[in-house]
Amino acid sequence: MMDLQEISDRFEIQQLMIDYSTAIDSRRFDDLDRLFIPDAYIDYSASGGAQGPFPEVKAWLADVLPRFPAYVHLLGNFDLKIDGDAANGRTMCFNPMVLSDEPKQVLYCGIWYIDEFVRIPDGWRIARRVEEKGFDHVI
């Protein structure tokens, strides 16, 4: 049975993931600074994206994502393993992305975020994120 600390940790990490999706979908890329540790490693190469240190990947996101007219992230199946001030997670993400205004085409992406989290004095942060591709399909 989970104790109150684990329940709290799980909710805080899930909110961290929601805050990530909100920052990306709202195109507020500077909000990511409070979600990742400064030396976090990110790998979005499974879906054709960048990989490397957080600041470089953040700059890539801010450059590339505004080229899409619209997109959203829907998260689910939060699978978290918490061990003190560290945690690992695997979270499903459904991410439809509008490719162009005319003709309307949408890329439907199913991905998994494979994450490592750390608790710092200000709360939980993402220390490592690797994207695992599930599927993609253009309609």
Distance in angstroms (rounded) separating the CA atoms of residues 45 and 47: 5
Closest CA to 9 of 94, 112, 92, 78: 78
pLDDT tens for each residue of 30-63: 999 999 999 999 999 999 999 999 999 999 999 9
Question: Does residue 103 have a cis peptide bond before it, meaning omega lies within 30 degrees of 0?
Answer: yes
pLDDT tens for each residue of 100-131: 878 889 999 999 999 999 999 999 999 999 99
Cα dihedral across residues 63, 68, 69, 74: positive or negative: negative
- The pTM for the full model equals 0.95
Confidence at residue 137, expressed as pLDDT on a 0 to 100 scale: 93
Domains observed in the chain:
4-138 (3.10.450.50)
